[in-house]
Structure formats: structure tokens, C-alpha cells
Chain A
């Protein structure tokens, strides 16, 4: 059974149709990329899946359950985590605290006014594990707002991982990064996918990243589904080339 099934969703903003009748099936363990030129509706599509917006029409089924009308927090509790195109972290808290908050939420401690010593130790262990996994351990005490862009991105991804998601949505994880940072993020995503057996859907502009990482690619153009297939199929697809290079080409 598919982990995520998006059925014919559309999203209208007034007369603008940002997402137009798009469907997608994501199997457990898959690493899927969603690509498309600027304004293709990729981020809006993510926002529909994570509950930032409600679709104007269509349904979203996660693990057999219709989540179309659920609030964002409830989708997170069911196992959908995401990052944002523009880094969204807690800038004036330390890396440790940034990771600690999602770990506590995922452990069901969100409303607890205190933690037992055992629970506290468990939380700390999990944070240490995440820090180790991401290579941020040395910077654990630093404020996230003071870190380099790449480290902030990595922190944000680890915050999503801290939730123990079953589906991870990454919105342009390498946006605005240099060569080295991009390489490190790719390594991190690959590790999470291979070792963590995590299902990942990512939006990406950098084609090298997409063809390096993704097993399957879906292409959107002007809010509409354009093509889907393996990286090789997509690279050879004429409609995709036209969409990227312009109609004149």
C-alpha cells in the first residue's frame, strides 16, 4: 500500500490556479523528487500535503487515512515532517534546544511541566544521537542564528528527523548553499534514506542533486502534472526539456 496518496488536488488563490489536478503516489522507502520551473506549484503542493493550506479540491490519504482536513500539528503526530524553502529554526536557542523541542514533542512530553530523571536522560540521549548523526555535536551549545547557513539547514533537517517521521518532505534542502555544503547535505539525506529507511520527498532546483539522489522524479509545470519517471526517463523526456528551456527551444 502507498504511504502517501495524493488524489487530484487543486489549489486556487482567487483566479490563480497554483496547483491543478495533481496526483502522486509515494511508496514506503522511496526517495522522490518533485521538480519544475519557477512558479510550477511545487511548494504549494507541499503546503497542501502538510496542511499549510487546504486544497480547493481533491483528497490526501496518508497510510490509508484521509488527512485532507487535518490541522498541521495533527499531520505531524501521524508522521509527516517537513522543512521549508527559507530556513525555519529557532534562531535564539541553541542547537541542542532546537533539537530537544521536537524530541520532547515526539515523546509526548509537550504538555509536561516536569520530566522524570529517566525521561530526561532518554531525551538527552536522543538529542546526542541526532547531533552525532548530523555532525553538529561540536556546535551543540551555539545559538542556531549564529551558525553558517549550511549548519542551519542541517539543524532544520535534524529537527524534522527528531520527530521520528514516516514521511519527510524537504523543500529545496540545498538552496543557497556552496559546493561543499551541498555535498554534505546530500550525504546526510542519503544516510537518512539508506540507514534510516526513511521515505523522503524533496523539491529541488539543483539538477545534479536531483539526479544524484532521487529514485523517481515527478515534474510539475504551471501547476500541472507534466511527467513522472526514473531520472533517466525524465532526462530524455521532451516535454520536460521544453518546459525548462522555454517553448522557443
Chain B
């Protein structure tokens, strides 16, 4: 008898997320931390679409995360001050880059796939780092602000109201995550599970594996670029570190920490990672050592992540 029924767990997650701005302060947090957890969770869940549900490890997702962020920042700063337009362009840029890189890597497997995703990611990193006149180089793009969103009957003030920005992020998160869940339950989603489970069997059931991996990659990068747009909006800032390989590593750590076979795992991983980071970094600069140690312990003893522990307890 599982302690947590799946539907109950879903309702619980959504209630917690919907009420977060009200209880976060009470437990020593702040609203912006909630937004950050959601944004990273979206990125990690996007990665998990590829890692947990297709069985392919990417170490270069930060590239498309960062491209989404740069697209958003540049549109607002240089072209036209509109948040929705900026996000659409950011998502389009990130997804298009992934679609172009995809065919070059979709035939690779395992370590070779991971290495090539890092390599392509670093290409984008160096472009953002070197092309100072456009990207601001090492200093990044600042001196722009997220714009209010006009809904016709009212205007959503994202800039001066932390809560309204949180709910904006939550709305985008909900739509994205809902879409992912929907895709995973479709015939197409099942072909991805088939590839994860046994690539040879999938191929000899008539699934063109490379093409489906390419599609899963593009979908995953589409969602990670949405997270990148929100990331840039969160602090009205983007710099090359959002693209660098260690940012990709953060997404992988969050996903594995929370549990990469479970849908909500990356959300849990993102929350644990960012709360630990927030708490420990106020005491020592060396916060990454502690997170690293925690990560190693989890991977050693609970290879299916934090949610894997709960699930195992639930089934025994």
C-alpha cells in the first residue's frame, strides 16, 4: 500500500506551490527564493524529459537555458520593451539552436553524447563571453527591467511586486509541466520510454530511434529555454555563467538528487539544492563542498534520489 497516492501527491504539490508566497516567509524563506526554485525546477524537469524518460544524458542544457535568457534580455534591452515578446524570441532562439545541434549528436550514445553536448554548450559560452559588443561579454547584460504584462482588463506588475512575479512564473511552470506530462502519456511519450528501457528492442519494433531521440532533445531544450527566459527576468540580468557547463551540471545534480525516474523528482532536487545553497552560503563561501558531499551520499545510498527513498518506503 503506497502511503502517497499519486493523485494525492499531485494535489499536495500544487497546493504547496500555490500557497508558497504566504508560508515561505514564515519558515525563514522569501518569495524570490520560491521563484528561483520553480525556475530551476522547470529546467531540471526539462532535462529529466531527456534523462529520466528517454534515457539520454545531456551535460549541455545550460546552453539553451542561457540562449533563452539572452534572447529575452536582448529584446527588452535593445529592441522592444515587452516581456511576452522577449520570452517568445528567447524560446525560439534556444529551441532553434537545439534543433540545429540535434542531428549532429542524435546518433551518439552514452559518454559520447554527453561529451558532445558539453562541447556544443561551450561553443555558445565562448560566443557569449567574447562577443562583448552584443552580449556584454563577461559583465553580461544588465540595466534593463522586466516589463509589466498587459492582460487587457488589468496589468500584471512583475517589477515591483514579488508575489505577482512568483505567480507569473508558477503559471508558466504549470503550463510547461502540464505539457510535458501530457506528452509523456502519449504514444510518442511511450516510444521514448521504450528507447530508455531497451534501445535495441525499440529499434526492432519499428521505432526510428535516432529521430525520436532528436525530437526528445528538441522538446527538452524547448522547455529548458523557457526556464532560461524566466531566469533572466528573475534578476533582470544574464551573463555567460548561465551558459557554462557547470550550470548544466547543476541541472543534472538537481535531477539526480530529487530522483530522475519520478516526475516531481527534479522539483524536490531543485528545492533541496537551492535551500541548502541559500542557507549554507550565508555561513561559508564553501557551500558547494557541502552540497557536493550531500549529493555523493544520496547517489551512493539512494541511486534513485530523494523521491526514490520515499517510494521504496512506500512499497515495502
Contact = CB atoms under 8 A, between A and B. Distances in A.
A25 interface: no
Nearest to A91: B197
A84 B206 CA distance: 15
Chain B CB within 10 Å — which of A73, A82, A92, A109 has the most? A73
B207 A110 contact: yes
Main secondary structure on chain B at its contact with chain A?
Answer: helix
A115 interface: yes
B78 interface: no
Interface string B193-208: 1100110111111111
A104 B209 CA distance: 15
Residues of B in contact with A, size category: 20 to 34
Interface stretch (A94-102, A193-201, A210-218): A94-102
Interface residues of A, number: 33
B188 A113 contact: yes
A100 B197 CA distance: 14
A159 B205 contact: yes
A50 B182 CA distance: 34
A88 interface: yes
A104 B194 CA distance: 12
Given A89-B201, A93-B193, A114-B182, A73 B188 contact: no
B90 to A, nearest CB: 23
B187 A88 contact: no
B160 to A, nearest CB: 39
A72 B206 CA distance: 7
Given A76-B204, A163-B206, A92 B197 contact: yes
Given A82-B204, A110-B207, A163-B206, A105 B198 contact: no
A104 B187 contact: yes
A106 interface: yes
Contacts of A112: 186-188
Interface in A83-137: 84, 88-93, 97, 100-102, 104-106, 109-115
A71 interface: yes
A72 B183 contact: no
Given A101-B190, A101-B191, A114-B182, A73 B198 contact: no
Given A73-B203, A76-B205, A105-B206, A90 B194 contact: yes
B187 A90 contact: no
Contacts of A102: 205-206
A100 B200 CA distance: 17
B193 A114 contact: no
A244 interface: no
A88 B201 contact: yes
Interface string B207-223: 11100000000000000
A116 to B, nearest CB: 11
Contacts of B206: 73, 76-77, 102, 105-106, 110, 163
Contacts of B208: 71, 73
A97 B190 CA distance: 8
Chain B CB within 10 Å — which of A72, A84, A100, A101 has the most? A101
Contacts of B182: 113-114
Interface in A42-56: 50, 52
A105 B191 contact: yes
Chain A to chain B: the 3 pairs with minimum beta-carbon distance, closest first = A76-B206, A90-B197, A109-B187
Interface of B: 182-183, 186-188, 190-191, 193-194, 197-198, 200-209
Interface of A: 50, 52, 71-73, 76-77, 81-82, 84, 88-93, 97, 100-102, 104-106, 109-115, 156, 159, 163
14 contacts: A71-B208, A73-B208, A84-B200, A88-B198, A90-B193, A93-B194, A101-B190, A101-B202, A105-B206, A110-B191, A112-B187, A112-B188, A114-B186, A159-B205
